Amino acid sequence: MASLCIHNAKLVTDTIASGGVLVEDGRIAACLRGNERASADVVIDARGRLLFPGFVDAHVHMRDPGQPQKEDFGSGSIAAAAGGITTVMCMPNTKPPLDSLSGLDQARKAGESRSFVDFALQAAVLPSNQQAMASLWDAGVVSFETMLADGPAGEAYVDAALLLDMLAQAAVLGARVGVYAGDQTVIEAKLDRLRKAGRTDFRAFAESRPAISEALGLARLMEARHATGAGIIARQVSTARGFEIVTAAKAKAPAGILVEVTPHHLRLDATALARFGPYAQMLPPLRSKADVTAAQAATASGVVDFVGSDHAPHALAEKAAADPWSCPSGTPGLDTLAAAVLDLAAGGIIAYVRVAVLLAERPAQAFGLGDRKGRITVGLDADLVLVDPEATLRVTPEVIRSRAGRSPFEGMTLRGRPVLTVLRGEVIAEDGKIVVDRPRGRFLRRARAS
């Protein structure tokens, strides 16, 4: 493997300092300081731009295997690499679902044959497959994922006793459980009223999942976590009240509770539903402007541990629905994750060193990959992304490489754009284009209990 030197950069670690890196055999061999430049087969002048660790997206629905019309590892990982993401953690709602060793094997083979970036797998845990938790954990999945509401029919953990039992099993294994929090009874009552009223506008979908549903779900989750001692990830927290609940809980158990926010809940509010209709429909729904402000404050302060894209693509024909009740929920996020967060840094809302934590260091560490990914440190994989903080990304359908094709970020100009992506010492993307001739991704097993 060719050696690589990137010099004349601003290294983003715990601080921002002039320097660079020397890469040998796919790993970081040395961190250069100031104007240092090392001899290497490939030498890249960063021209003073920001050099981050490769970004790690802990919330990706690749739809592979089983739903190639929506996405597969090939198209999704191209979007990831172009956007500065070098590691993706894939969600289990594939066909077949990743809820067994057979499902794990099929997902792993799909990724190994098609992914341009490294990938880890997250397993579904449902009332019907709790007996598979130990075998899946031993096989190297990085988390278990479940829902308290909006889950598969009859499979959401709406029963508190079942939830407690599952979290107790996770605690014994040392596994983290990612949880989408909501209250199914509130949602069903709202849905019934809205449908009886004849509502078919896309704002009705947001009203069917009100903030109180998230708050009740999070409150129940925090109490169940406290009772069992399990490690949890509060996925996709989206409301001001939700952030208040997780802030209070984290103060008592900072190591046991991780909090995720998505870029769309950081940047978009419910008014986008009027502009984009089905393309702005996701779970949880877009919220109020006050909720967006609360999300940004929690992200800047450290309450939020990482930003996950919740990349959830659907084919354009599937999204072109006349009403919210027939429209699948989800939006692509791999193309715009980094730019949406970098734009917040450019605007002074969060610090660039915080971006490195949110998009690389914390998700890698939290899911048992910190011995290889997430930091610019000697000995770790040379996963790097060079960012031009002044370059802009105008979001149009043409820049969405995902098969989903449309994004609720359309029309926004985001400042701060990845211009070079390096995976294990090899440049795989430049200026939004893939520059390697075949997939390079590897399956990442969890190194240790997270």
> Tens of pLDDT along 358-411?
999 999 999 999 999 999 999 999 999 999 999 999 999 999 999 999 999 999
Query: How many percent of the chain have pLDDT more than 90?
Result: 96
Residues 127-156, mean pLDDT to the nearest whole number: 94
**Distance of alpha carbon 194 from alpha carbon 292, whole angstroms:** 25
Q: In whole angstroms, how far apart are CA 197 and each of 94, 175, 194, 280? A: 34, 44, 5, 22
pLDDT-based confidence at residue 322 (cuts at 50, 70, 90): confident
The pLDDT assigned to 155 comes to 86
The pLDDT assigned to 272 comes to 97
> Residue ranges of the domains in the chain?
4-51+380-434, 55-366
pLDDT-based confidence at residue 450 (cuts at 50, 70, 90): very low
Question: What is the reported pTM?
Answer: 0.97
326-355 pLDDT tens trace:
999 999 999 999 999 999 999 999 999 999
Task: Pull the structure tokens for residue 91.
Answer: 């969600």
The CA angle 84-286-265, to the nearest 5 degrees, is 35
Is the pLDDT score of 448 beyond 80?
Answer: no
pLDDT-based confidence at residue 321 (cuts at 50, 70, 90): confident
- CATH number, domain 4-51+380-434: 2.30.40.10
Catalytic residue among 57, 99, 310, 335: 310
Query: How many percent of the chain have pLDDT more than 70?
Result: 99
Residue 406 phi/psi, 5-degree rounding, is -125, 145
Residues 234-260, mean pLDDT to the nearest whole number: 96
CA dihedral angle for residue 196, residue 198, residue 204, residue 209, rounded to 10 degrees: 10
Mean pLDDT of the chain: 96
Residues 183-211, mean pLDDT to the nearest whole number: 97
Residues 153-160, mean pLDDT to the nearest whole number: 87
- CATH number, domain 55-366: 3.20.20.140
The pLDDT assigned to 329 comes to 96
Q: Does 371 qualify as catalytic in the annotation? A: no
398-434 pLDDT tens trace:
999 999 999 999 999 999 999 999 999 999 999 999 9
